[in-house]
Every structure is written in structure tokens, then in C-alpha cells.
Structure 1
Amino acid sequence: MNQFVTLFVGGLFLGAIYSLVALGFVTVFKATHVINFAQGSVLLLGAYVIARAHESVGFALAVALGVLAAAVASVLIDAVLIRRIRRADLGTLAILTLGVDILLATELSRRIGTDVLNIGAPWGSDVTEVAGIRVATSRVLAGGVAAVLVAGFWLAFKFTDFGIAMRSAAEDGEVASLMGIRLNRVAATAWALAGALAAIGGLFLTSFPAAGVTGSVGLLALATIPAVVLGGFDSPGGAVLGGLIIGVVSVLTAGYQEELSFLGRGLGGVAPFAVMLLVLLVRPSGLFGTREVTRV
């Protein structure tokens, strides 16, 4: 029983990290109707900048630089590429972001090579224990940061001018434009937020118990795709819940790998996609997604 509780709690904290990255997907989709597959390489970029910069400028400033680099890269993807073919179909836009992801991830992987870069987190390999449950301190901090950021995002989305503009753009871009809402500014802000969230997610995904930053870190963002699909592409709340569900499923299936060995090895990596498919059979738009949302 203690093992189950420990795995479950660890899964929730991992899911909190997934929720941040998934929220970036949803933010871009709501503002621009683009499925941003470049989120993984942007996550890797943010983590890479932090790992390279922390020794010379300190951890806090390195994190700021990593978040800034990821946000700027995301905005450039929108301004230089997406904006030029904004009226293209969703499939074309998604493939374009996938191409960007491959190019950026390839270049970053070339720079990293076979090294494992230390993220330089001050909490190191510390472990927090409460009531007999041991969880990596990095995951506990990730849960706290995720809670604050998600709450802040919700408040901004509901009560600020940007939130109103993004909801209007998502509802009907042409009408929103006629009402004076600058769609390009809304899109740029959404892409910047998505990049920043990816960098923060990358920080915690590469902290202990992970080894550090490697060329394959960007692939970790693929685990958030089932979370986005599960919750619904246009639902911020769904992204958060989907991230938590996928985190718990991943950790539980990995933790009980021996008991589930009859289903094959590597079940922890496959289980999130299996859950996603099962949910889509019942609700094609996800748990909280709008049924009219177009899929690719």
C-alpha cells in the first residue's frame, strides 16, 4: 500500500510538470488554432541554456535566460513562419511546426552530443519525506510552481484584457479583429507564454531524479501530447487534469512493471497513449474539449 501511495503522489508531481507543458500547447491552440509540435525542441532549448549558463551567471539568472530564450524562440516561430501562412489548413501548420521541431532538436542534440549537462539546480538530489512518502524535492517544488503558474494563468485568462482578447480570438478571429483586437499581438503573447512554460517544464524534467540535459530531452514533451488530447486541445483546465492523469499513469505502470510484465517491457512509455486512445473512443474531443474543434 505504501508503494502505491508513494508512486501515486510521485505521479501527481510529475503530472504537474506535464501540465505546464500541456498548458503551453493549449495556449497556442486557443490563440491561433495551431498545434505546436515544436514545443519539445523549445523545451530542450530552455533546459540547454540553463545548463550552459548556470556556472557563469548563477542558477537564478540562468533560469531567467532559459525562459527568455524559449519564449523568444517560440515568438520567432510564429512571426517568421506561422504568420506567413496563417490561413493554411491545420494539417499544414502542424507539419510546419513538426519540421521546426526536428531542425531545432537536431541542432541542439549536435551541440550536446553524448554529454549529460548538469542543470545546476541548488536542490540537487535532495529528497522530501512526509508521512513515510519519499519524493524528490525537485518534483515537490515543481508541483508548487505549477500550482502557482496555473492559478495565475487562470486569473489572467478570466479577468485580464489579454484573456478576453484570447478568448475572442479563439471564438472568431475575424470578428475579434473588427472589434480592434490585434490578433498578431495576441498570437505573439500566446507563443511567448508557451515557450516560457516549456522552459520551466524542461528545468524540472531534467532535475533529479533525471540525469540531466541530454539530446533526447525534447522527446519527453511527447508525453504531454496524450495529456493535451485527453483534456481537449482548447481546454486549459483539461490540459492540467490531463497532465496529472498521464503523470500518474506513467509512474504507476513503470512502478508495477514487474507485475505487468505480461503486457511487455516499456509499458510506462506506452500506457499514456493507450489511455488517450481509450478516452478518444468515447469522447473524440477529449474530456473537456469543444466538440467543434477540428482534429488533424
Structure 2
Amino acid sequence: MTGFLDSLLGGLALGSVYALIALGFVTIFKASGVLSFTHGSLLLLGGYLVAVLHDDLGFAGALAVAVLVTAAVAGALDRLVLQRVGGSDPHAAHVQTIVTIGVDIVLVTDLARRIGGDLLPLGDPWGSAVTDLGPVTVADSRIAAILVSAVAIGGAFALFRYTPWGLSLRAAAEDREAAALMGVRLTRVRTAAWCLAGALAALAAVFLVAFPAPGLERTTGQIALKAFPAAILGGMTSPVGALVGSMLIGLTEAFVAGYQSDLHVLGEGFGDVAPYAVMVLVLLVRPAGLFAAKGAARV
């Protein structure tokens, strides 16, 4: 029972962090139709900034700067690079998706060079502290991940639901041409979406490298790819679906790791591919995702 509860709490914490990243995928896709592959580099950038700044600014100050800078870099990438690619081409979003792969390679290469073979601590206030919750001992970083992610996700949902930008985002997701005719400034909407996604990625980096993880390393950005199945499971246009998919992926990964000895027949590395296995199984039943919007059919 203790092992089950430990895996459950670990899965919830991991799913909460994946949700921050998956919301970025979904927000960008809703605003522009672009499937962003820059999330790994943006996450790595956010974590790197916290690592190098926390001695001078303290953890809170370093995190604030990292979130703002990563958001600005993401917005600049969209405004100065992606929006200049494709022009009026109806397939511009596909071309821009390919461009994000190249941008990610450039950023990751530079950041990996700066990090080298080091493990960089982020100076988070939780350290290796743990808390006893009944029969289960939980790392404080996991508790913080759940609480902070819940606040950030709640704030993002409030933006989607109650702000003019959120209304414009939903309109753009439904029909970009009609939204533009109604006065929605699509370039501003999508740039703001990229900024939000960058900020969420920087925040996620803190908890992905916190205890029990050893610290930030040059391969940390690859973890963002595990949130990709979560966004796919949700249908790519549903923030709620991204949240549900993230929890499903996080719990799957945690339980596979916790019961690895019972799943040895599947191989020692099955935990690494489990999120993608779940994605494939769900898509076989729901090809458009769990929460994909139903399109109107013209008869």
C-alpha cells in the first residue's frame, strides 16, 4: 500500500509539471496551428537562467527573471522568425512547425555547450527535505510542484476564460479567417500564446530538476518530449484535455517505475516508452484525442 501511495503522489506531481508543458503545446497550436518543437530548448533556457542567477538574485528573483526572459525569447522567436516564414502560404503552419525543429537544435546546442558535463543546482528552497504524510514520505519538491502547478494552471485557465485575449484565442482556434474579419489581431494573439508557453516551460524546469533529480544537465530539455503525448491525448486544442492527458502520462510513468520489478518482462527501459505506449493505445480508440472538438459536417 505504501508503494502504491508513493507512486500515486509521484505521478500527480509529475503530471502537474507535464501539464505546464502540455498547456504550452496546446496554447501555441490553438493560436497558430504550429506544433512547437522548441519547448525542450525553452525549458532548458529557463532552468539554466535560474541556475546561473540564483546566487546573485536568490531563488525567487532568479525564477522571476527566468520566466520573464524565457517568455520574451519565445515571443521573439514567433514574431521575428516564425511569422516571417510561409507568408500567405496556406500551409505556412506546417512550414513553421519544421522551422521550430531547427530553432530548437540551435538553442539546445548553445545551451548544452554552456552547461557542458556539469550538474547545475537551481538553489530551490526545498532542497532534499521530505515530509511524512501518514505511511508515505514525500519530497517537499513534489508537494511544491503540485501546489505551484495548480496555481499556474488555474491562472492560465482564467486567462483563457475571462480575458479578451482568451476570447480572441478561442475565436482564432475556431476559425482564423473569421476571427481576423471580426478584428482579432492574430499576430498579437499568437505572440502572446508563445510568451505564455515560454513562461510555463521555465516554471516547469524548476520542478523537473528538483530533488530527487540530481540537477540541471544538458539533456534536461528532452524531458519536455514526454509532455508531447499528453497534449496529443487531449486533442491538441483542449486545455482540459492537456491537463487530463498529463495526469494520465505522469501516473503511468510513476507506476511503471514503482512496479518495475513486476514488469521486468517488458524490459528495463519500458518506463521511458510507457507514455508513448499509452498515447498509441488511446489514439487507436480515439484517433483525434480524448477531448478533440467535433467538427461540423457539411451535407
- Give the deviation of 1:92 after TM superposition: 2.1
Secondary structure of the 1:253 match is helix
200, 203, 208: which one aligns with 2:203: 200
Q: Would the aligned equivalents of 2:11 and 2:254 in 1 still touch at CA under 8 Å?
A: yes
Aligned twin of 1:164: 167
Aligned twin of 2:150: 147
The residue type paired with residue 289 of structure 2 is G
Secondary structure of the 2:260 match is coil
Matches within 5 A, 1:1-296: 1-85=1-85, 87=89, 88-290=91-293
Q: Distance in 1 between matches of 2:144 and 2:268?
A: 31
**CA offsets per residue over residues 98-124 of structure 1, 9 Å max, x none?**
111111111100110000001110111
Specify whether residues 184 and 89 from structure 1 end up closer, same or farther in structure 2 by C-alpha distance, changes over 3 A only: closer
State the TM-score, normalizing by the size of structure 2.
0.95
Q: Would the aligned equivalents of 2:32 and 2:93 in 1 still touch at CA under 8 Å?
A: no
Secondary structure of the 1:239 match is helix
- Give the deviation of 1:89 after TM superposition: 4.2
Secondary structure of the 1:115 match is coil
Secondary structure of the 1:134 match is strand
State the TM-score, normalizing by the size of structure 1.
0.96
Secondary structure of the 1:259 match is helix
Secondary structure of the 1:212 match is coil
Specify whether residues 213 and 292 from structure 1 end up closer, same or farther in structure 2 by C-alpha distance, changes over 3 A only: farther
Q: Would the aligned equivalents of 1:285 and 1:291 in 2 still touch at CA under 8 Å?
A: no
Specify whether residues 292 and 215 from structure 1 end up closer, same or farther in structure 2 by C-alpha distance, changes over 3 A only: farther
Secondary structure of the 1:289 match is coil
Q: Would the aligned equivalents of 2:165 and 2:189 in 1 still touch at CA under 8 Å?
A: yes
- Give the deviation of 1:85 after TM superposition: 2.3
Q: Which moved more, 1:284-293 or 1:266-275?
A: 284-293
The residue type paired with residue 124 of structure 1 is G
Alignment length (residue pairs): 293
Secondary structure of the 1:129 match is strand
Secondary structure of the 1:58 match is helix
The residue type paired with residue 248 of structure 1 is L
Q: Would the aligned equivalents of 1:254 and 1:266 in 2 still touch at CA under 8 Å?
A: no
Q: Distance in 2 between matches of 1:46 and 1:276?
A: 27
- Give the deviation of 1:292 after TM superposition: 5.0
Q: Distance in 2 between matches of 1:5 and 1:90?
A: 43
Q: Would the aligned equivalents of 1:49 and 1:62 in 2 still touch at CA under 8 Å?
A: yes
Q: Identity over the aligned pairs, expressed in percent?
A: 48
The residue type paired with residue 213 of structure 1 is L
Secondary structure of the 2:138 match is strand
- Give the deviation of 1:29 after TM superposition: 0.6
List runs of 5+ in structure 2 lacking aligned partners.
none
**CA offsets per residue over residues 176-197 of structure 1, 9 Å max, x none?**
1221111111111100000000
Q: Distance in 2 between matches of 1:228 and 1:135?
A: 27
The residue type paired with residue 44 of structure 1 is L
Specify whether residues 113 and 74 from structure 1 end up closer, same or farther in structure 2 by C-alpha distance, changes over 3 A only: same
**CA offsets per residue over residues 150-171 of structure 1, 9 Å max, x none?**
2222222112111111111111
Secondary structure of the 1:123 match is coil
Q: Distance in 1 between matches of 2:295 and 2:67?
A: 33
Q: Distance in 1 between matches of 2:61 and 2:239?
A: 29
Q: Distance in 2 between matches of 1:263 and 1:292?
A: 39
**CA offsets per residue over residues 212-233 of structure 1, 9 Å max, x none?**
1100000000100111111110
The residue type paired with residue 9 of structure 1 is L
